[in-house]
Structure 1
């Protein structure tokens, strides 16, 4: 990959370098470790298989309008999902996902802020200093 990036724009090279550095963070390391524990857990894999099986049964029960059976399956599914969510390795995995997502969101916001401070965007022939000026997702209307 490094050979390919040698002939690429410097920004893309910097982004690739950032990606490599992110792989070395504690958050990514914790996430990968938790992910491996989930993948190797017989209990988690068993619960996932049971949930999938019950979901298929539920689809069939709804199709054939078996109301009582639908209620029972929904309760069983809820109990299985709660059991899985309460497993320590699942909680750890979910927490590591939140931490990685927070890190990536922070990086995205820092980049967006840095770019928007440095670039004036043209809006209808005028250059707006307060944002994109379109009133789109960012909510700015320009001056």
Structure 2
């Protein structure tokens, strides 16, 4: 059995990160983000939302509840308008695709490490038990 250092593992993680950053999903994400940054309508709405959010913070601080409700309603309306812009929808979809890929990789690594531990200790993959658990469960009475 080969023993790897943390440094070796981190280097492999960097290699994997580079591979992920060169996938179709990440490429689409980059293009969608660039389109958003170049879209004047999106920039205008985002700036309006930011200004209203600052107002909301001030109104909340000074306990201006009715004015705060009005500003929050304006923010919600602008956010809905923003979400209806096709490039925003494409960007959100691409974010989800990239997140799904990252979760798949993390899940795969976690499962594989667990499986390697089980098999390397002579355990039972189907039961999800390590070798020491299997060995000790055969020698003990059941409860």
Check whether TM > 0.5. yes
Matched, 1:38 2:36: yes
Which residue pairs with 2:27 in the alignment?
A: 29
Q: How far apart are 1:128 and its partner, in Å?
A: 7.9
Tell me, which stretches of 5 or more residues in structure 2 are unaligned? Answer: 1-6, 131-136, 138-143
Report 1 or 2 for greater relative contact order, CA contacts < 8 Å, sequence distance ≥ 6: 2
Tell me, which stretches of 5 or more residues in structure 1 are unaligned? Answer: 1-7, 121-126, 133-142
The TM-score, its normalising length taken from structure 2, stands at 0.72
Q: Cα deviations across residues 8-34 of structure 1 (Å, max 9, x unaligned)? A: 52x444333322222221101101111
CA RMSD of aligned residues (A): 2.3
Answer yes or no: is the 8 Å Cα contact 1:39–1:45 preserved in 2. yes
Q: Cα deviations across residues 23-74 of structure 1 (Å, max 9, x unaligned)? A: 2211011011111111222221211111111111122223333333222212
Structure in which a larger fraction of residues adopt strand: 1
Which residue pairs with 2:50 in the alignment?
A: 52
